[in-house]
Amino acid sequence: MIVRGHRQLQEHFDNLGPGDVVIGQVGGKYLREAMLIDLMQRGVTCLPAPPAQILNRSKVAQARVLRAWMPPATRIIARRTDLLNAVSEYQRQKIDAAVTKHDHRHCGAGVLRWESLELLYNQVSLLDTAYPFVLQPFMQDFQDVRVLIVGNYHEAYKRCNPHSFRHNLAQGGQSKPFALDDKTLALCRAVMQRGRFPYAHLDLMHFENGSCYLSEIALNGGIKGSRIQRKALDQKKKALLEALAGGRETSK
C-alpha cells in the first residue's frame, strides 16, 4: 500500500507494516519524530527517509550528523557548560568572532553574529531558553551558494547581499548563476547520502582556494534566483518519490 498525504496516513497509521510506503513528510509538530520511529520499527518505508525528515527541521541535528562537512570548530551548545567550554576552545584557537544558529528558525532569523565570545557567553549563559544552538566561527570572503538537487537535475546560484552577512535574497540581495565543479557536486551528493535526502536545497560556503563547507540542508526552501520554477521543481520531487515508491510497494 502506498499512503499519500497526512489524512490518509492518519487513517491507516495503525495498520501499516512491512511493504507499505508513506510518501511525503510526516506531519504533526509534536509527534513527528515518534511517528517516524514507530513507522521505521514496523518496517514501513517513508519517503523522504526518516533521517532526512528529522534533519530537515533541526540545525542542531544537522550539526551532529553532518558536522564532517561543516566549518571546522562547529559545536553544538546544549547547556551552559558546553558554551563555556566552547568559548575557551575558540579563544585558544584565536577565534574572535562567532555565529550562532538557533534551532527551528528559518530564513536567517535565527542566525546571529557575535564580535566577542565573552559577550556571547554573558548574553546567553543566563537564558535557558536559548539552548540548544549551533556555534561556528564567523567566516568571511566566501561565496554563499545555494544548490538544488533532484535526481539527476541540479543547478546552483550564489547569493550576494552587501548589506547583510546573511546574504538573504529576501532582504535585498541579488543572485548570480554558479557553475558547480565535480568536487562541489560530490560534496553535495555525499551530504545527501549521509542524511538520506532524496532531493535537497543545500547552502554552501565556497572559498576561492577551493575549500567548501556545508552551511545547511533542507528538503524544501527558497528558490529565488534559480532557473527552475516552483511548480516544475515540485513536480520533479513528486516524480522522484513516486519512482522510489514504485519498486517498494507490495500487496497486502
Please state, in angstroms and rounded to a whole number, the distance separating the CA atoms of residues 27 and 38. 14
Please state, in angstroms and rounded to a whole number, the distance separating the CA atoms of residues 95 and 137. 7
Question: What pLDDT sits at residue 124?
Answer: 85
The more confidently predicted of residues 252 and 96 is: 96
The more confidently predicted of residues 247 and 201 is: 201
Helix axes 117-124, 80-92, angle to 10 degrees: 180
Quick check: 226 pLDDT over 60? yes
What's the predicted TM-score (pTM) here? Answer: 0.90
Please state, in angstroms and rounded to a whole number, the distance separating the CA atoms of residues 65 and 82. 18
Q: 153-160: which pairs have CB atoms within 8 A and are 24 or more residues apart? A: 153/228, 153/236, 154/180, 154/185, 154/188, 155/180, 155/226, 155/227, 155/228, 156/180, 156/184, 157/225, 157/226, 158/206, 159/225
Please state, in angstroms and rounded to a whole number, the distance separating the CA atoms of residues 233 and 242. 14
Q: What is the mean pLDDT of the segment spanning 215-237?
A: 94
Question: What pLDDT sits at residue 123?
Answer: 87
DSSP, res 71:
P
Question: What pLDDT sits at residue 167?
Answer: 54
Tell me the CA distances in angstroms from 158 to 16, 142, 155, one per residue in order.
43, 10, 11
Q: What is the pLDDT of residues 81-133, one digit of tens each?
A: 999 999 999 999 999 899 999 887 665 667 899 998 889 999 887 777 789 99
Return mean pLDDT, the chain: 90
Q: What is the pLDDT of residues 2-42, one digit of tens each?
A: 999 889 999 999 999 999 999 999 987 778 999 999 999 99
Rounded (5°) CA angle 20-23-27 = 110
In terms of DSSP H, where are the helices of the chain? 6-12, 32-41, 50-56, 59-65, 80-92, 117-124, 182-195, 230-246
CATH topology (fold) of 142-241: D-amino Acid Aminotransferase; Chain A, domain 1 (3.30.470)
Quick check: 163 pLDDT over 80? no
Query: Domain locations in the chain?
Result: 2-58, 72-137, 142-241
- The CATH number of 72-137 is 3.30.950.10
The more confidently predicted of residues 78 and 168 is: 78
Question: What pLDDT sits at residue 27?
Answer: 84
Please state, in angstroms and rounded to a whole number, the distance separating the CA atoms of residues 78 and 131. 5
Please state, in angstroms and rounded to a whole number, the distance separating the CA atoms of residues 160 and 22. 38
